[in-house]
Amino acid sequence: MLPLFYHEIYTSAISPHARFPRDRYRLVYEEIQSRTIENPDLHIELRESFEAHRSDILLVHSEGYTDAFLDGKLTDQEIRRIGFRPWTPEFVERTLTITGGSIQAMRTALEGSMVAGNLAGGTHHAFADHGEGFCVFNDLAICARIAQRDYGIKKIAIIDCDVHQGNGTASIFADDRDILTFSIHGEKNYPFRKEKSDFDIELPNDTDDDTYFAALKKTLPQALYSFQPELIFYQAGCDPLKEDTLGKLALSRQGLDKRNQLVFQHVSYWNCPLVVFMGGGYADPIQASVICHADVFEEAAALKATVSSTY
C-alpha cells in the first residue's frame, strides 16, 4: 500500500473568494479514491495529516518569521507576497497540517514504506525568513532537516519538476553540499529573479514533451550520479501541462507521465526511499491538473509495488 497523506482543511481553509483553485486538493483526493475503487490492483492508503510543531518549522525558518505567521502578525505586504487573499482564521492550521502531512509522509517512507506522499505541499517558494508564491513554510526543507536529525540520513536529493523554479529551496540550501537542489522550470516564468540551485534546467516558453524529456534525461542522471543520494524528494508539480494557466510550457498528460517514469526509474536505480510532494497545477478548468496529479500518485504506487517486492 502506498501511504498518501491528506486533510480536508487543505481545501476548506482557503477562502472561496481567493484567486486560487482551492478545490484541487479535494478533487485529487476524490480522483485517487475513485481510481482505487475502480482498480483493485491500485494499492493506495489515504491517511489523515496532523499539524507540524513549531519546533519543526524552526529547523529551517527564522523565529521572527515563524512566530509572526503563527501569531497572525505578518504585515499586509508579507501576506500579499504569499497570496491566498483573503485569509481565513483556519489558514495557520492549514499551513501546519500540510507541513505535517509532508513530515508524516517522509517518516513513513523512512520507517519501512520506502515510498509515500502528501496530497499537497512541495512549497518550494518559501524562504527562511519570508513566504511567497502560495508558499508559507518550505516543507521540502523541513523534511530534509528532520530526516537528517532523526534518521541519520546525510544526503538528500530534491528533484523539483514544478514549472516554477524552487527558489526558496535553492536559497535555503545554497551553501549546503549535503542537499542536492535540482530544478527544471520555465525560464521566462515566476520567479523572475531566480536563485541558484545546484542544477537549474531552464526551458523556453512552449517547450513540448520531447524537448522536456530530452533535457531531463540529459541532466538528471548526471546530477544524481555526482551526488549519490540516500533519500529523494520529488516535487511533482503538474503545471508544465499545456492547459496550465500559470505554466507557459506545452507538455501533454503523456509527457508528464514520461517525466514521472524517468524520475521513478532513477529512484529505483538508487534504491532510495522517496517522498512525493504534490506541487502546482492550475489548469482552467482544474480537472486537467487533477488528472495529472492523480497520475503521479498512481505511478508512485506502481513504483512502491516494485520496491516492496525487491526489498
Chain residues in the site for Zn ion (CB under 5 A): 162, 164, 237, 239, 280
CB of 160 to Zn ion, least distance (A): 9
CB of 132 to Zn ion, least distance (A): 12
DSSP state letter for 87 = P
Q: Name the residue among 182, 188, 220, 183 with its Cα closest to residue 204.
A: 188
Query: Rounded to the nearest whole angstrom, what is the least distance from the CB of residue 260 to Zn ion in the complex?
Result: 16
CA dist 299 and 287 (Å) reads: 18
Task: Give the Cα separation of 288 and 243 in Å (integer).
Answer: 7
Measured from the CB atom, is 162 or 198 closer to Zn ion?
162
Is the separation of the CB atoms in 32 and 44 below 8 Å?
A: yes
Comparison of 122 and 229: residue with beta carbon closer to Zn ion: 122
Minimum CB separation from Zn ion for residue 289, in Å? 11
In angstroms, give the least distance from the CB of 240 to Zn ion: 9
Nearer to Zn ion, 139 or 162 (CB): 162
Q: What is the DSSP letter of 112?
A: I
> Residue number with the shortest CB distance to Zn ion?
280
CA dihedral 53, 57, 63, 66 (to 10 degrees): -80
Which residue's C-alpha cell is 497572525? 72
List the grid coordinates of 268: 529505483
Closer residue to Zn ion (CB): 137 or 227: 137
Q: Which is nearer to Zn ion, 153 or 163 (CB)?
A: 163
